[in-house]
Each structure stands twice: as structure tokens, then as C-alpha cells.
Amino acid sequence: MNSSKYAVTFACYNQVDYTRQCIDSMLQHGDDLSRVVVIDNGSTDDTRDYLQSLKLGGLIFNNSNLGCGVAWNQGTLALQAEWTIIMNNDVIVSPGWIESLISTAERNNLKIISPSLIEGPLDYNFESFAIDASSKMKNSLRIGGKHAVCLAIHESVWMDIGFFQPVPKLLGYEDTLFFHEVDKAGIAIGMTGESWLHHYGSITQSAMKQERGLAEKDGLGYRYNYRLLQQSWLRRKINKFNRKREQKKWHDTELAQFGMTMHGLRINNTFEWQ
């Protein structure tokens, strides 16, 4: 795949060790760092020195933590491409993950697509697992499936619904609002079993909670952010019920066919399939 067809962007806020692991995994699998834009949201550890040592396609230093929405928009506009991959910095990529994402989306006329995930500690051989899982679940799709750990977005989406809401105080609710607009516009979206990531699990969010004296179970964003969806209590409950029903259908179908699903949690050295 011509690397000019896509760009990759992620935001970071401290947690330099996770950012380094993410970049190292990209380099290990031959990903072109000149197609990667990183936005640093005011890190105070060694993140900035590390990022400056890399030959990235773009590097933006914000003076303070402007939130994911602002950073994702900055990265998307700094290196514009037909496909923009928005991702977390606390992930490990697998061989051919970009090509698999985009080619699957194009074959199935999807405008937004996410890879499959394993979340939790990296206490297993992820590369070996990902190669086997990608082969086994190559033709498996969750139409309508989505998550914000990683998503490849076609340029037409920006024209249809715009970008992420650039409001720092949303503190992680930007993806919910974006997906809400995607649903309203009827944009085709999905999740593929051909591309896999390991996700350590909301490392930056956890660090920000700790800074604010919040418990891990507490929400980082404003508790009434849901009002921005402009949905009634009943509509939210119905939507939640429908999402859980669809999730169970995917889980049961994939588990019966493959003995695994597109979303696994790593707990006590075993996989729990979601």
C-alpha cells in the first residue's frame, strides 16, 4: 500500500514508556514514521525529548492538556490523507495492521473501521497471537462495531459530519459524541478480525484520574456530558439495551465459529472473550 494513502496520529500526555513501546512496535513491523503525527498535550516527563529524537511526519507540542478532540483534529489536519488512523499511544501493533484495516474497509464499503483488541497486561506473545488470530478471523466483521482505541477514518467522513469536538473539558467524551454523529449520518462503520492491536488499557486516562484525586472507577469527564447527546432517558436506555444485545450476538457467533472473539481481556494469564 502506498503510504501517502494514510496518516496515523495519536496524542500523548506523559507515559513515555508506553509511547516508546508503541513506536517501537511500528518500527518492528516496517511502518513508515513519516506518516505519523504525534501531538503532545503538555507532558512533563521525558516524552518531548523522546519524540524529538524520531523522524516523524509531524510533531505538535501543546502548552497544556487540550484533550483528545483538539489533539486528534490537530493531527488529522497536519498530515491530510485519504485515510486517517486515530489511535491511543498505549497500544502495540501487529504485522500488516494498517493494510488490513484499510483494505477490509474498502472491500466492504466502510468509511470507519477499527481493529480487534486484546486488553490488559502484555504477558503473552502478542505477535504470534496476532498472526494466528488475523488468519483465523480474516473474513470476520462486526458491522456497526466500533471503539476509539483505534479507528481508520475515510476523508469523506470529515466532509459529512466534521471533526471531533475541540472542547478540552470533555476529557474523553469526544469519541462518544463523534460516534453519535456517525450514527445519525448513517455512515458505514465496522470492526475487523483481520487486524489486531494489544491495548494496555486507558493508561493516560488512569494517570489523569490520579492527578485529580479520582478513584479508578470514577468517570474522568463531567458526569452530565451525556446531555450533549440530546437524548431522553428512555432513548439512552433503549440504545444501551440494543448495544448489549448486538454485543452478545457477536460474542456468541464468533466464539462458536472461532473459539475466540474480536475483543479479549487478559486476566490472570488467560483470555476472557467479550
* 95 close to 130: Cβ distance less than 8 angstroms: yes
Question: With pLDDT > 90 as the criterion, what percentage of the chain qualifies?
Answer: 82
* 140 close to 258: Cβ distance less than 8 angstroms: yes
CA atoms within 13 A on the CB side of 128: 4
Amino acid at residue number 270 = T
Which pLDDT value is given to residue 59?
98
Q: How high is the mean pLDDT of the chain? A: 92
From 6-20, 154-168, 201-215, the region with the lowest mean pLDDT: 201-215
Give whole-number Cα distances, 74 to 25, 34, 91, in Å.
24, 16, 20
Largest CA distance in the chain: 51
**Lookup: cell for 3:** 503510504
Which pLDDT value is given to residue 2?
84
Q: What is the helix (H) or strand (E) element at residue 92, kind and residue range?
A: strand 91-93
User: CATH assignment of 3-273, given 1.20.1070.10, 3.40.50.10140, 3.40.50.11440, 3.90.550.10?
Assistant: 3.90.550.10
Give whole-number Cα distances, 102 to 86, 98, 197, 218, in Å.
13, 6, 15, 35
Backbone angles phi, psi at 238, to 5 degrees: -65, -45
Query: What ranges do the domains of the chain cover?
Result: 3-273
Which pLDDT value is given to residue 218?
53
| pLDDT tens sequence across 23-49 | 999 999 999 999 999 999 999 999 999
Amino acid at residue number 248 = K
| pLDDT tens sequence across 227-270 | 888 889 898 899 889 989 999 999 999 999 999 999 999 999 99
| pLDDT tens sequence across 74-115 | 999 999 999 999 999 999 999 999 999 999 999 999 999 999
What angle (nearest 5°) sits at the alpha carbon of residue 77, between those of residues 196 and 65?
A: 80
Provide the phi-psi class of 96: left if phi over 0, else alpha when psi is between -120 and 50, else beta: left
| pLDDT tens sequence across 173-228 | 899 999 999 999 999 999 999 999 999 987 666 666 555 565 556 565 667 778 88
pLDDT, average across residues 160-164: 97
Closest CA to 9 of 94, 64, 73, 67: 73
Which pLDDT value is given to residue 80?
97
* 264 close to 196: Cβ distance less than 8 angstroms: no
